[in-house]
Chains A and B, each alone.
Chain A
C-alpha cells in the first residue's frame, strides 16, 4: 500500500456502494474489489469501513441482503439495490455531478 491515495469525502462512500451495486447483486468483498479497481486504485477505502456502511444502507431500505452461494461455493451475503435505492442513486449522482461541476468551474475561473 505505498501508492498515494485519496481519502473519501464524508458521505460519498454510500454513493459509491450504491453505484457498485447498480450492476447487479454483489457480496461485500466484491464491492470492495470493484471500488478499488474501478477507481484505478486512487481511492483509499479501508475495507473494514465498508460493512458499517452496507448495514446502514440496508437499515434505510436502499439495499437488501440475502445469503447465497458464492462462485467458489461458499455462503456469502449478497447485497442488491432496491427500487428506493435506485432512485436514491439517481438523485445523489445528479447532486454529485452538479457539485463537482460547480466546484471545477469555480476552480477554473478563479
Chain B
C-alpha cells in the first residue's frame, strides 16, 4: 500500500516536472488532442448527414467551452500555479511599463520605507541579535556588571567558583604614554588577566597571547598589540615580536599582535598588558584595581545557579579585607549573559527607532495603497470586461496581488540598494558608544528579512484595493462599465480613509519627535553649575620617568601652569584630576569626624577631584562660603579640603560644613579640614542629579596621577592647541598632550545619544509628514478634478474665489481633523513608552500636543495650495461644457 503511495507520488512529481519544463510542447499536445476530438466528432456528425460547417459547429457545441477545458486540463497537470503567476507577471510588467510615473512613485515610496527598515534591521541584527564574536558565546557571562572587582577579590572568586570553567578580568581602557619610538603618543591600554584571550577564544595573528606566568611581578613586562595599532603606528612590521616599547616609562616586550577579527574588550583597547597579581602592593591589590569579570560557565550551569553560588562566595570574601567592609558589600552581585551585558544598553534606543521606522513603512504602504486604488480605478473597465467574460473574482484578486507583490519586490530591491548606501550615514548618526557598532553590516539574515518584508508589504498595500476593485467590477460588470457613481464613491471613501490613517500615523511620529526635541532643548537649558564658555581642557599626562614620584608630579604641573599662563589669550589656568562631564569617573568614600561609621555600615559615595588653586575661578564655580585653595595649600601646611553645597548638606545636614574634618578611610589620624563650600556642579550628565563632591588641593595629593589642564582663554581651541603643546613641550618634550577640547564641546557631547535619537526620530517624522502631504495632495487634487463641473456651475452662478477655496478646503480639513484626532489619541497612548528618552517633559506635554495639530494643519494647507489654485482658475464655460 505504501509502495503504491510512493509510486503515485513519484509519478506525480515526474509529471509535474515534465509539465513545467516542456510547457510549450504539452500545450501543443493539448491543442492537437482537443482538435482531434472535435474533428472526429464532426466527422461522425457529417457521416450522419450534416453539412461539413454545421457539423463542425455542432461538434464544438457538444464539446462545451474549449478554453475552459484547456484551463481545467492545465489545472489537472498541476503546474498552473507557476504558469499563471508567470502570465500575471508578464501582464503586470507590461502594464507598469505603460505607466512609468506610477511605477516610479510607488517603487520610490516603497524603497524609502523598506530601505529605512532594512538599514534599521541591519543595526538591530548586528548589535542585538547576532551572537557575540567569541568562542561558544552562549556560555559566557559577566559577573557583577557595572562593578569592578579588586585583584584580591578576583583571585578569591577564581579559586572558589565551581560554576565557572574559567573566570577572567580586564580593566581599561586607560590612556598611557608610548614614548621612545617617534613622537610620544597616548594609547588606550587595558590590563587583562592572562587567560582573557583563551576565555574569549581569541588568537594572536603574530606571536602569542599571555602565558599564566606573566601575572607574576617581574615577568609582567610584556604587551600584546591590537591589529589596528600594529597596522597604524607600527606600520604592520612583521618583525615587531620581541621588540621593546616604553609605556608610561616602563619598558615592555611586544609578544603578540591580535587578529584583526578580534572584537577588543573593552572595545577601544589598543594595547593589552597583563594584570600583575602582587599582594605586596597593598593599594593596587586591594583598592586601586577594578577588573570587569567575565566567566565561561561549566556546561549545563545556568547564570542563576552561578549567581546563587557567588552569594555564598562574597560572604566568605567580605571579611578578608583589612578593615571591615559594609555588610551590603557584594549583595548586589549578579551573573548575566555576556551578550545581554554588552548590548542591553543599546536596546531601548534601538527598539524605539525600530518602532518609528516601522511606522514610516506603514505610512509608505498606505501611500502606495492609495496610488494603487487610483490606478485600479482607471482599470475598472478592463476588470469589468474580464468579469463578464467569466473570469473568477479570485482570479482577478490574484492578478492584482501579483502586481502589488511585484511592486513590493521592486521596492525591496531598491530598498536594499538604498540601505546599503544609507547604512553608513545611519551608523554615523547613531550614538558613538553603541556597542558592536563596528560590526554593523547587511548580511544574509538582513536580506531574508527584507525579502519577507517586501512580499508582506506587497500584500499589505495590495489586498485592500484589489478586493475593492473586484467587488466594484462585479457590480459594474453588466452596467455601463466605468464611471458608475457607486464604484467611484466607494473608491473615494477608501482613499479618504487611507489618508486619514496616514495622517494619524504621521501625528504619532511627529508627536514623539516633538517630545524628544523639547527634551533636548530642555537639556540645553540645564545649568551645569560652571561656565563652560571660553574654557579649554587638555589632558597633560605625567612624564613617565616621574610616574611614581608624587613631589615631582607637583613640580611638573606647577611649571606646566607657569608656562600655560604666559600663552597669549589665556586669562586663567588650573589643573584638575577630573573634568566634569568629561566621562572620567573618580568616586570614593571618606570618614567623617563628626559621625563615625558603624561597623558594616555603608558610607556616602563622593565625587573626588584633585585641583590646583585657581580651578574654581577658571571654571566659574562660585565659592559660597570660606575660601578657595591657594598655592600655600601644600605639603607641610595644614591639610585642607573644599566641599560642594550638596556634600555640605548631605554629610552635615544639621551643622556648618566649614571647619568639619574628614579623612581617607585607609589612612589613620590624618584629618583634613573643610575650609570652603563651593557651588554644586553636574559630573556625570546634564540630566542626572548632583552628586556630593569633595575637592583636594594638588599641593597635598598623596598619589601621582595624570591631570587635565583647564584654561580660560579668548582664543579658539585650534590656535590654542598648538600653543599648549608648545608650552608643555617646553617643560618636557616627552609628554604627549591629549586632545585639546572646548569645554562647551565636552558638555555638548554628553547629549550626543539624545541628539541621535532626536535626529533620527525627527527624520522619520519628516518622512511620514511628507508622505502624508502627498496623500492629502492626491485626495484634494482628485476632488477638484471630480468637482470641476460643479465648480464651474458655482462660478457661473456668481460664487467668488473665496467660496471655492472654502469648498475645497472643507474637503481636506475634514480628513485632516479626523486623522489628527485619531493620531493624537494614538500618540497619547504611545508616548508613555517614550518616558526614558524624555527629560523635563511629560509624555503628555500639553504644548507639544497643542503644536502637533498646527503642524499638520499647515502641512495640509501647503499640500492643498496647488489643487486649490487650480480650482479657483476653473473656466466656468469650459467646465460646464465638458463631461465632468
Q: Give residues in A with beta carbon < 8 Å to B.
A: 1, 27-29, 32-33, 46-49, 51-53, 55-56, 58-61, 67, 70, 72, 74-77, 84, 87
Q: Which residues of A contact B134 (CB under 8 A)?
A: none
Q: Which residues of A contact B8 (CB under 8 A)?
A: 60-61, 84
Contact A48/B4 with A58-B15, A59-B76, A61-B12 known, Cβ cut-off 8 Å:
no
B interface majority secondary structure: helix
- Taking the closest CB of chain A, its distance from the CB of B461, in whole angstroms, is 36
Q: Which residues of B contact A46 (CB under 8 A)?
A: 63-64
In the complex, the answer to whether A49 meets B33 with C-beta atoms within 8 Å is no
Could you say which of B29, B34, B37, B44 has the most chain A C-beta atoms within 10 Å of its C-beta?
A: B37
The total number of A-B Cβ pairs within 8 Å is 82
- Taking the closest CB of chain B, its distance from the CB of A63, in whole angstroms, is 10
**B residues 11-25 touching A (CB-CB < 8 Å):** 11-12, 15-16, 19
The CA of A52 and the CA of B65, in the complex, are separated in Å by: 13
In the complex, the answer to whether A48 meets B65 with C-beta atoms within 8 Å is yes
Q: Which residues of A contact B76 (CB under 8 A)?
A: 52-53, 55-56, 59
Chain B interface residue count, Cβ-Cβ cutoff 8 angstroms = 34
Q: Give residues in B with beta carbon < 8 Å to A.
A: 4, 7-8, 10-12, 15-16, 19, 29-30, 32-34, 36-37, 39-41, 43-44, 62-66, 68-69, 72-73, 75-78
A-B contact pairs, 7 of them (CB 8 A): A47-B63, A47-B64, A48-B63, A52-B75, A55-B76, A59-B12, A75-B32
In the complex, the answer to whether A76 meets B36 with C-beta atoms within 8 Å is yes
Q: Which residues of A contact B36 (CB under 8 A)?
A: 27-29, 70, 74-77
Which single residue of chain B is at the shortest CB-CB distance from A57?
Answer: B76
Q: Which residues of A contact B65 (CB under 8 A)?
A: 48
From A53, A59, A77, B15 is in contact (CB under 8 Å) with A59
In the complex, the answer to whether B33 meets A48 with C-beta atoms within 8 Å is no
The CA of A67 and the CA of B32, in the complex, are separated in Å by: 11
- Taking the closest CB of chain A, its distance from the CB of B79, in whole angstroms, is 10
Q: Given A48-B72, A67-B29, 13 more contacts at CB 8 Å?
A: A1-B62, A47-B41, A48-B66, A51-B33, A51-B37, A51-B73, A55-B73, A55-B76, A59-B16, A59-B77, A60-B12, A74-B39, A75-B32
A interface majority secondary structure: helix
The CA of A96 and the CA of B30, in the complex, are separated in Å by: 31
In the complex, the answer to whether B69 meets A49 with C-beta atoms within 8 Å is yes
In the complex, the answer to whether A29 meets B40 with C-beta atoms within 8 Å is yes
The CA of A28 and the CA of B63, in the complex, are separated in Å by: 12
In the complex, the answer to whether A59 meets B78 with C-beta atoms within 8 Å is yes
In the complex, the answer to whether B32 meets A48 with C-beta atoms within 8 Å is no
In the complex, the answer to whether B12 meets A84 with C-beta atoms within 8 Å is no
The CA of A32 and the CA of B36, in the complex, are separated in Å by: 13
The CA of A28 and the CA of B34, in the complex, are separated in Å by: 9
In the complex, the answer to whether A51 meets B15 with C-beta atoms within 8 Å is no
From B32, B63, B73, A52 is in contact (CB under 8 Å) with B73
Q: Which residues of B contact A67 (CB under 8 A)?
A: 29
Which single residue of chain A is at the shortest CB-CB distance from B78?
Answer: A59
Which single residue of chain A is at the shortest CB-CB distance from B43?
Answer: A72
The CA of A17 and the CA of B40, in the complex, are separated in Å by: 19
- Taking the closest CB of chain A, its distance from the CB of B41, in whole angstroms, is 7
In the complex, the answer to whether B11 meets A47 with C-beta atoms within 8 Å is no
Q: Which residues of B contact A33 (CB under 8 A)?
A: 44
Which single residue of chain B is at the shortest CB-CB distance from A71?
Answer: B40
- Taking the closest CB of chain A, its distance from the CB of B619, in whole angstroms, is 87
The CA of A53 and the CA of B64, in the complex, are separated in Å by: 15
The CA of A68 and the CA of B69, in the complex, are separated in Å by: 23
The CA of A8 and the CA of B8, in the complex, are separated in Å by: 26
In the complex, the answer to whether A61 meets B33 with C-beta atoms within 8 Å is no
The 7 A-B residue pairs with the shortest CB-CB distance, nearest first, are A61-B11, A48-B69, A48-B64, A52-B72, A55-B76, A56-B76, A59-B15
